[in-house]
Structure formats: structure tokens, C-alpha cells
Structure 1
Amino acid sequence: MTEKYVENNRRFLISSSSKLLLGLQRSASGFVKFLLLNPVYGATDPINKERLDWERRYKIIGGIARGLLYLHQDSQLRIIHRDLKASNILLDEKLNPKISDFGIARLLLVDQTQVNTNKIVGTYGYMAPEYAMFGEFSVKSDVFSFGVLVLEIISGQKACCVLHGQSQEDLLSFAWRNWREGTITNIIDPSLSNGSRNEIMRCIHIALLCVQENLVERPIMATVVVMLSSYSIFLSVPLEPASIVGGRTRSLRVRDMQSEGESINHASISDPYPR
């Protein structure tokens, strides 16, 4: 059941499977949980590095995707997490992921597709631009956060910064630049050198689709789950992902430049898996 990828939270999950409840009872008496954050980001512990090989990271990505699908579509109540990030993904002793911390989650009514709020809460770096700037959130906001998280899992880098000697850039800019320039291997954690290249490339491709600035261009989680499990699903060419600079997204900056008479050229990328 996809429910097993969601940490029990009585505020939202009306019922849970007996299997999940048993796991949580064991948790209270010492069931080991690992924060995804610590073993992935620049881990120096060789045991953690060995445990989080590509096969396990791929399993974690798939588990998170199915957990989000459950929240968005398959649970009795439709839930938007609003703060999906590495530190809110718990790993059990078998490295199965569970989405946790529903403190700022919101319910969607049956006829709702989007909600507006004046109180913007969450974690910058993971927040979709329409939410960070205008307080508009939907299931596509969680999709954006998922895309950022996938790039973190694959790269071993934090969303806020990728270091280059004395300089740094945000992970989305780093990933997009290397995708566009055909140096996609720079995105991949060196410890994943023995992992399936096709799977890793496809996951990066899916992640870039999830972080599109226009929420209409982002897939829903049901589509993401199918994309991850089937190579028969065609992946469209991603555009430059959202990036908030000085409180403005790329599209707003482009709009400003166009109003000032500057021309904008959009490069097309035809190779889905650049070298």
C-alpha cells in the first residue's frame, strides 16, 4: 500500500493499515529511523555511503513519489504537505522512506485545485515560486518540492548551495546549467558511479520537469510514479526551472526586460540525455 510511505498523523490520516501501526509501535520502543538529510549530503561515513548506493536511492525516490501520490489522490482526504524536504523524510532500518511532519499541511476540498494564503511558511529552496511569491499552493507545489528533493538525492548536494571552490550556486541553476551544456554527469554524486546510468538520467529528467516555473508544465504525482516505473512514457523536454532571485522569478525578470525592449532568445534542447 502507498500508505506505508506516509508517517502516521492523526490530524489527517483517519485510518491506517495494521501493518503501518505495528511499525510505529515498534518505533516507539526503539525502531531505528534515519534522517535522509544526514547520510546523503556530503556524507563522510563510508557505511552510510555504501548503504545509500543507487539502488537504494532509487527505491527511496520511488517511495517518496508513491507517498505523495497517496496524499494527493489515494487517501480519504486530499493533503498538500507544503514542506517536503530531506529532513522530513524518515528512513527505517531497511531504508524505506516515510514522509513526516504535517505541521503546516493543508487539506483540499473536493472542488478545490488551488488555495491562497497570506501566511507563507515552508523552506526556501524547496518552495514553488507561485507559493513563495504569491501564496498560491496546490498539489503542484509538492511536485516542485519533490523535484528539488530528487536532485538532492542524486547529487548529494543541498538545494541552497552547490560549492565550486570559493563560489556557489543554487542546485536548480547548477542542474539546469549542466543539463543544458551536456555535462550532466557533474550533477551525479561520484559515489553513484556504479549505478544504472539510464535510471539516473531519467530521474534527473523527471526532476527537471517537476521544477518547471509554470505549474501547468509540471506533471502530477500519478504521472511521476508511472514515469519512474516505465520507460514507455515519453518525457518532454524541460525548460529552464524556476529560480527566485531578488524576490522575482525568471519569468517576471524576462517580462521586465521585454518591456524595456530587450530581446530574449530561448535555446532549444533536443537531446533528452546529454553527455
Structure 2
Amino acid sequence: MLTEGFCLQGIERLLIYEFLPNASLDHFIFDPIKRVHLNWEKRYKIIGGIARGLLYLHEDSRLRIIHRDLKASNILLDDEMNPKISDFGMARLFVVDQTQGNTSRIVGTYGYMAPEYAMRGHFSVKSDVFSFGVLVLEIVTGKKNSFRNGNDIEHLMSHAWRNWREGTAQDMIDPVLSSGSATEMMRCIHIGLLCVQENVAERPTMASVVLMLSSSSLTLQIPSQPAFFMNSSTYQSDLSSSMGHNSRVTESSLSESETMIPLSQNEVSITELYPR
């Protein structure tokens, strides 16, 4: 949470934020020049900071907060490269014993959205975990959630899973990370894959993720096939005709109570404003 204060005057509603001189994470990890300033030590620190921030939102805050739009451009960096989760315009509050919410207003950023949210409007702490997993894979690889591979567009989760199964996951690591703990990098890829699993129940909680990051002796489960992987049941039945290259949810993939809602392209959030 970055809010330092607010101002109300007439119809004006202003939030005052902490000044963060290093802008957002995407300005570094996706920039061919600036990315060299983020060595592995800094990236690992950023991953851990984001994980602890989400853990606070999910478990330690007075009310449980589901962010719903976690992505690289919503992670701001202070002068010491400490991460700050920002942009809570799409966040939802849960009461203490609430575990899941449903909405017909599907807003967010395609590529970071969990399948159960993108296609059915179901969101929970596990949908934030999914977004975190995508973000971790981006930080380690330096690639966006979809990227050009030769003449084709490849999805990062498919790329990560294929390399993991073939035993070549080390080839995914950002080439500028020539120094640093290869064990930590591989462990983060492993954790990222655990977070983007298709089955909601198989994804870890953020409490488990923080423990995985802080304890190298903790044995990690073997990840299963991620959501949106080519040939996965979710991809074939729900996404091939709806999202694909159009980045759009069609009426056939929505419940009767939902309407056709366009999803964002180029990692820009789609927001539908309504009173809360």
C-alpha cells in the first residue's frame, strides 16, 4: 500500500502516493539496456518483497484483499529497488471467512489472469497467486508473458513448462544474469510453475510461497501442467475460440449472467468503473 494521504474538494478525489524514483519493474526487466542493472540479488529481493506484500494483503491485513491486477507495471521500485505493490483500483475486499468471489465484470490484464477468473469470473487469493507465478517467471527469464520466438508468438508458461520437462530450464534464465545463485534461479522457476497450475487447489498459498523462498531446505512439490499450456484441457475447451490472438472473452465462454467483455492487449489493464 503506497497511499500517503488524500484530498477531497468538490468533485475532486486525489490520492497522494509515496514518490518512487525507479518507476515500475517492467521498465527494467523488459528493457535491453536497463535490465543489466537488475542483477540476481536484486531480482531475488524483488520476488521476495512482492511475495511478502501479497501475504500481507491475503492474511495479515484487517480485511483480506484480492488485488486482481498484479503485473510488472504495477510493481513500483524505490531508490533501493525495494518493490511496492501498487494500483488497487481493481482490488476486492473479502471478509475474514470468505474464500472466493464471483463477478460478471471481468477486468484485468490478459496474460496474468488466472483461468477460473478470465473465463468464469471466479477470483480468490489463488488468482493472485497465479499472477504472482507469471510475474516470477518474467523476472527470472526477462521475457514477457507472451514473446516472439522466431516467427511465432510463444506463451511464457508453455515455454517454461516445455523446458522444465526437457530438463533445460536453465536455458530460460535471462542471459544478463551471468552471476548469482543458479540454484535460487531454478528454484524460482519451480515456484513460478507451482503458482500457475491449472487446478486452483494445487497452487500454493502466499504463506507457502514465502516459506519456499526463505528456506532452501524445503522440498518443493513437482509441478503439473500449467494453465493455458498448449493441449491443456482449459486451453483447448475454453481459450482456443475465445482468447487466442484476439484477447477477447466471447459470449460462448461466459455464463448466462455475464456479458462479452474485451480483455486488454499489450499488458494494459481493462477497468470497468462502477461504485463500490
TM range (shorter): 0.7 to 0.9
Q: In structure 1, how many angstroms separate the alpha carbons of the residues matched to 2:98 and 2:66?
A: 12
**Percent of aligned pairs with the same residue?**
62
- Asked whether 1:36 is paired with 2:25, we answer yes
* 1:4-55 deviation per Cα after TM superposition (whole angstroms, max 9, x unaligned): xx323879xxxxxxxxxxx955x2xxx51321001101x232xx23320000
Q: In structure 2, how many angstroms separate the alpha carbons of the residues matched to 1:251 and 1:73?
A: 34
Unpaired segments of 5 or more residues in structure 1?
1-5, 12-22, 254-275
Q: In structure 2, how many angstroms separate the alpha carbons of the residues matched to 1:252 and 1:182?
A: 29
- Asked whether 1:68 is paired with 2:57, we answer no
Q: In structure 1, how many angstroms separate the alpha carbons of the residues matched to 2:194 and 2:229?
A: 17
- Asked whether 1:213 is paired with 2:202, we answer no
Greater strand share, structure number: 2
* 1:58-110 deviation per Cα after TM superposition (whole angstroms, max 9, x unaligned): 00000000000000011111100000000000001110000000001000112
Q: In structure 2, how many angstroms separate the alpha carbons of the residues matched to 1:8 and 1:24?
A: 5
Q: In structure 2, how many angstroms separate the alpha carbons of the residues matched to 1:9 and 1:76?
A: 19
- Asked whether 1:59 is paired with 2:45, we answer yes
Instruction: Note the aligned Cα RMSD (angstroms).
Output: 2.3
Unpaired segments of 5 or more residues in structure 2?
7-15, 239-276
- Asked whether 1:104 is paired with 2:90, we answer yes
- Asked whether 1:49 is paired with 2:28, we answer no
| Kept in 2: contact 1:57–1:153 (CA 8 A) | yes
Which residue in the other structure is 2:140 paired with? Answer: 154
Which residue in the other structure is 1:203 paired with? Answer: 188
- The TM-score normalised by the length of structure 1 is 0.78
Q: In structure 2, how many angstroms separate the alpha carbons of the residues matched to 1:9 and 1:208?
A: 35
The amino acid across from 1:70 in the alignment is: Y
Q: In structure 2, how many angstroms separate the alpha carbons of the residues matched to 1:9 and 1:115?
A: 29
Q: In structure 1, how many angstroms separate the alpha carbons of the residues matched to 2:44 and 2:165?
A: 24
| Kept in 2: contact 1:155–1:187 (CA 8 A) | yes
Q: In structure 1, how many angstroms separate the alpha carbons of the residues matched to 2:135 and 2:4?
A: 22
Aligned residues: 229
Q: Which secondary structure state, in structure 2, belongs to the residue aligned with residue 207 of structure 1?
A: helix
The amino acid across from 1:44 in the alignment is: P
**Which residue, out of 113, 121, 127, partners 2:107?**
121
